[in-house]
Amino acid sequence: MSQARAATGTFFLVVGPSGAGKDTLIDGARRALASASYVFARRVITRPAGAPGEDHEAETPEGFAAREAAGEFLITWQAHGLHYGLPAELLSALACGRHVVANGSRATVDELGKRVPGLVVVEISAPPEVLAQRIAGRGREDHAQILARLQRQVDPIPPGILRQRVSNDSDAAAGIERFLSVLRDPVAVCVAHEAPADTGEEAVAFAPSAQWPAGTRLRLRSASGRLVDVRVHGWEAQASTQDRTWQEPWLALSPALMRKLDMQPGATVQALRIQPAGSRHFFTRKLRGDALKSHEYQAILQDAVDGRYNDTELTAWLVETTRSLDATETLALAEARSRIARRIVWDEPMVVDKHSLGGVPGSRITPIVVPIVAAYGLAMPKASSGAITSAAGTADTMALLAEVELSPEAVQRCVKQARACIAWNGRLNHSVIDDVMNRITRPYGLETAAWSVASILSKKVTAGVTHLVIDVPYGPYAKQDSLQQAQALCALFEQVGAGLGIQVRALATDGSRPIGRGIGPALEVRDIRQVLACDPDAPQDLREKALLFAGHILAFDPGVGDAEAGRRLATELLDSGAARRAMERIIEVQGPPRRLAQPSALSMTVEAQQDGVVGEIDGWAIAGLARDAGAPEFPEAGVDLLCRPGQPVRAGQALYRLHLGSARHKELVSARMRAGASLTVPVIA
């Protein structure tokens, strides 16, 4: 099992914005680590020697090109009109087990990862006000230039790369100390043995205690670039192996962890010690009840994503934070979140969007609102979710009309060619922070309205949205119980949106009853087609709600006037067929759907047992029936509502029809009916 390996050094690629102090930290580290173990790369730059800044090797553009052609560089890049190169000899230093420290560029990370065996990207950062002060101190740029520089979004580090963050937010000595603690922890390349262990939900790696003390937290990276954070438990190989001697460094991983890392026993795995959380001071202040600022939230969230807090700590922090978020702190949190992700830049004066808190069965207005807005000409790159707890998400329904798994490039193309798209958000703006948050808050059912406001709005900021309408339904089965509660949340959305520079209009809407007729992808497609075709039989409540929201979006255009004028304009665009044609264009540009579906022919009709009036319909129960029928996995399944609350009905009259995904679903639904589910649409005598 054991295998001979040459000692391998770690390549520390140092990146960070201007003013973060990369040169200062690298100089400081060079002095402190003046040993044979560390090599500080001298860069070749097409800039005259003697210029201020780092000590580089000057080269002419021609000389640089010649050396590049001769293979003298490990990697090269361009910035500010200059060529930069790192010498190829650094590879030999790594092979001898020496560690390399190089001032580099984010743009080279992906390529470097393939060329050096143990890459660690070290991101140097500082709060915006510190950056601004340091840049201003150089006296080379004016205030406007500095602001523009700070607002520039940086390339994110590609996934699957080991990274360390160093906050250089106080004096040079403190920054150098933090930087050194990162450099002193190179990557350990370990043979991964199989531990005959089952550690359940817990990510544990077993290692000799002499190698790492028990409790050490490590980020593991397999050859295929999978990353998993683990906690170390000490284990003595001699005592636990039968006939083999494991050579250090080794780790023993459970079969489940091997699968997570997509690796086999005997392969090597890179292990990087997770640094202590630099934001602990802010973390503690929050737990003591203090309000935090945006950069403090950002530091905590980045440490959380970097695995520097354990679940217990994160839980404590989240309980306190979700409880104490007022408007000011919600804005601070949203700003922090929007800074962590990369912002999409649109070449558009306005980018509009619509968001619904959901929970109202059938309320599928997005595929009507988007083509109306597109027909008017505003850019509306809509990213929608699939079903989480409901019977269908907008993405599930749209997937029957067009391709919805769009890349960021495809989204840009759609907006250019059709002014809009309706894409699945799964590939677009996934949030690691939300993953961490949901894992912790869901089991406890924490109240997270303000957290959601920050999450939703920060994602809109990074999506480049400038104008946004939000649907906040209220009612006994909606997420907000009362109009008052919904209005308070609307006010929070608008206030935080304004702070983030987005114009937000949030509307509290009646969520007490289903909207439209169909609940389930194929049935919803039928309703949407009817509305777009101006079919007189189309569900009028769906049409009206779509026109209301489209009107508010159109009213963002100062030329349109108020929301009522917007509504009139939206009605014209719908009734003239312009919206229908815009939808056809959107579908054409997104591409054909992967799957077509009609409402299932295997159906079951539920009739009134007595004369009377239709009572209140339990939204959760009706969505539950649609799921039992097979939606959304079976897009042809769902519930077709044939009555409305308050409508008089006679005994034997059809109340709703269930379209069933399969015979198995028919059985399940029949069992539910026997258990009383037929009363989901009650008839009051």
Q: Which of 110, 129, 447, 667 binds its own copies (CB under 8 A)?
A: 447
Strand partners, 57: 44
| Options 360-368, 428-436, 443-451, 615-623: segment touching its own copies (CB under 8 A) | 443-451
Question: Residue count at the site for its own copies (CB under 8 A)?
Answer: 38
Q: Which is nearer to its own copies, 279 or 462 (CB)?
A: 279
Q: Which of 1, 32, 316, 578 binds its own copies (CB under 8 A)?
A: 316
What is the closest distance, in whole angstroms, from the C-beta atom of residue 182 to its own copies in the complex? Answer: 23
Token pair of 241 as six digits: 């192996």
The closest alpha carbon to 630, from 648, 650, 608, 604, belongs to: 604
Report in angstroms the alpha-carbon separations of 653 from 585, 669, 683.
Answer: 41, 20, 11
d(CA 437, CA 315): 9
Q: Which of 58, 107, 136, 197 binds its own copies (CB under 8 A)?
A: 197
Task: Give yes or no for residue 214 binding its own copies (CB under 8 A).
Answer: yes
What is the closest distance, in whole angstroms, from the C-beta atom of residue 203 to its own copies in the complex? Answer: 12
Task: Give yes or no for residue 312 binding its own copies (CB under 8 A).
Answer: yes
Task: Give yes or no for residue 213 binding its own copies (CB under 8 A).
Answer: yes
| Helices 294-305 + 280-287 axis angle, to 10 | 110
| Options 171-179, 197-205, 561-569, 652-660: segment touching its own copies (CB under 8 A) | 197-205
Task: Give yes or no for residue 3 binding its own copies (CB under 8 A).
Answer: no
Instruction: Give the count of alpha carbons within 13 A of 621, CB side only.
Output: 17
| Options 313-321, 342-350, 382-390, 647-655: segment touching its own copies (CB under 8 A) | 313-321
Distance of CA 258 to the CA centre of its chain: 26
| Options 207-215, 453-461, 544-552, 564-572: segment touching its own copies (CB under 8 A) | 207-215
Write out the E strands in 534-595: none
What is the closest distance, in whole angstroms, from the C-beta atom of residue 431 to its own copies in the complex? Answer: 21
Cα radius of gyration rounded to whole Å, the chain: 29
Q: Which is nearer to its own copies, 125 or 448 (CB)?
A: 448
The closest alpha carbon to 130, from 168, 159, 186, 101, belongs to: 168
- Overall size of the chain counted in residues: 685
Instruction: Give the count of alpha carbons within 13 A of 403, CB side only.
Output: 12
Token pair of 400 as six digits: 């029957």
Task: Give yes or no for residue 446 binding its own copies (CB under 8 A).
Answer: yes
Q: Which of 305, 319, 350, 602 binds its own copies (CB under 8 A)?
A: 319
**Does 18 show up as a binding residue in the annotation?**
yes
Q: Contact at 8 Å (CB) between 455 and 492? A: no
Strands 380-384 and 503-510: unpaired
Q: Which is nearer to its own copies, 289 or 558 (CB)?
A: 289
Q: Which of 215, 266, 377, 561 binds its own copies (CB under 8 A)?
A: 215
Map the footprint of its own copies across residues 224-253, applying CB under 8 A: 233-236, 238-242
d(CA 622, CA 615): 13
Token pair of 135 as six digits: 């840049």
Task: Give yes or no for residue 315 binding its own copies (CB under 8 A).
Answer: yes
User: Locate tokens 């006010």: which residue?
Assistant: 491
Phi, psi (5° rounding) for residue 443? -60, -25
Token pair of 652 as six digits: 């034997």
What is the closest distance, in whole angstroms, from the C-beta atom of residue 384 to its own copies in the complex? Answer: 29
Task: Give yes or no for residue 264 binding its own copies (CB under 8 A).
Answer: no
What is the closest distance, in whole angstroms, from the C-beta atom of residue 279 to its own copies in the complex? Answer: 14
Q: Which of 133, 209, 438, 609 binds its own copies (CB under 8 A)?
A: 209
Q: Fill in the DSSP letter of residue 277.
A: P
Q: Which is nearer to its own copies, 23 or 194 (CB)?
A: 194
The closest alpha carbon to 621, from 641, 650, 636, belongs to: 641
Q: Is 468 exposed, middle or buried (0-12, 13-18, 19+ CB in 10 A)?
A: buried
Task: Give yes or no for residue 435 binding its own copies (CB under 8 A).
Answer: no
| Options 131-139, 143-151, 314-322, 370-378: segment touching its own copies (CB under 8 A) | 314-322
Q: Which is nearer to its own copies, 159 or 196 (CB)?
A: 196
b/e code 426-437 from CB counts within 10 Å (16+ = b): eebbebebbebb
**Does 20 show up as a binding residue in the annotation?**
yes
**Does 577 show up as a binding residue in the annotation?**
no
Task: Give yes or no for residue 51 binding its own copies (CB under 8 A).
Answer: no
Q: Which of 3, 34, 35, 198 binds its own copies (CB under 8 A)?
A: 198
Q: Which is nearer to its own copies, 248 or 611 (CB)?
A: 248
d(CA 322, CA 441): 10
Q: Which is nearer to its own copies, 214 or 596 (CB)?
A: 214
Binding residues for ATP: 16-23
Binding residues: 16-23
Interacting residue ranges for its own copies, rule: CB under 8 A = 196-202, 204, 206, 209, 213-215, 233-236, 238-242, 284, 287-289, 311-313, 315-316, 319-320, 323, 444-447
